[in-house]
Chains A and B, each alone.
Chain A
């Protein structure tokens, strides 16, 4: 059985039916020159390459980079109570929280429970920011750091201590209105 294309087939638009003559000459030289004009104009514009890592592009304030966990400034207690809501929200399932109970001798967070283990596997994270939205205590936020390459995959599992630590200010922030 032969296949007959339906009425909705795409019309194929071909080139000019025959080459040569003045039109052919123009296509060979005129169009090429027109293309070269763009090339030469760019050459005069100067260098746009950013010399990363010596030079860095500043990020917007809302840029979603590596996460940070926060503590209260006055008491120093962790804001995170280990509720696991971030883990529930995470679409790539890269957060692991194991909670434990605060005791009078060992008070870690402001609530009854705290995160004894808090790990983010940054090699799986897609930086969607859902964890930040899910957190009822603003304990986790997305920072600006995007420089996280490492030699070892397991080094990309960030522990609570790493996430709590003040990150190195490596990423320039775009100034207001820039």
Chain B
């Protein structure tokens, strides 16, 4: 599901919430009328134009005055241009703004590095009181948005290019990692679109007789330390996968936990410390940057054999 489709699909959930709760408003930037919401709640869809800082400030003010605002904005711009507004206006001032942020990771593809969001987790992870959700498939994105409405405090719902994961309908509990596949030889921790990559790697590894546990880290903050510690103790070998820089994101966060635990070896799959400047469609960019099942399989094998 493309970023645009993710946005529309997310707003459908916001419309459901709006029908049940008069406080719900949708705040967007240069999105125009959004089918399923604007015609039903014309007064409650506020579009501020191309201005991320105002977008977030206005949402914080709406929240302060009793509304429950859902902000729809592209992940790279909302988190980088609007970082201080998320930090000060929402988190520090305790205004419950919910962010729906499509186009995370490399999804913007050939639009170039300005449109990639591969540092949003690293940035937002530093903000006290902010919850970061990163659902793995379209249905889970709906569950995450519904959860966001009930979570105390601001929430960032990170939406990547998500495809349905067959048979996956686990209840969504923010802060709790979901085990998608069992395994004690290694554990693959993935978030968002990379969960599908981890599941494909699991199949590849199973052919070689390696049982890799697959963990869906749908909440990056607060991070489920207990489940990560258990995976480290049970398997001793962890691999993280994310459409994000390996520093500061899921890989960085898991590295911090393992260092404190003093157990478990780690390989991190994600974007290395460089801009993604290659011109190519999105799926090819993922391959170029090694965010694919083959890279995960190789990393797990290296740990198992090493």
Q: Do A and B come from one complex?
A: no
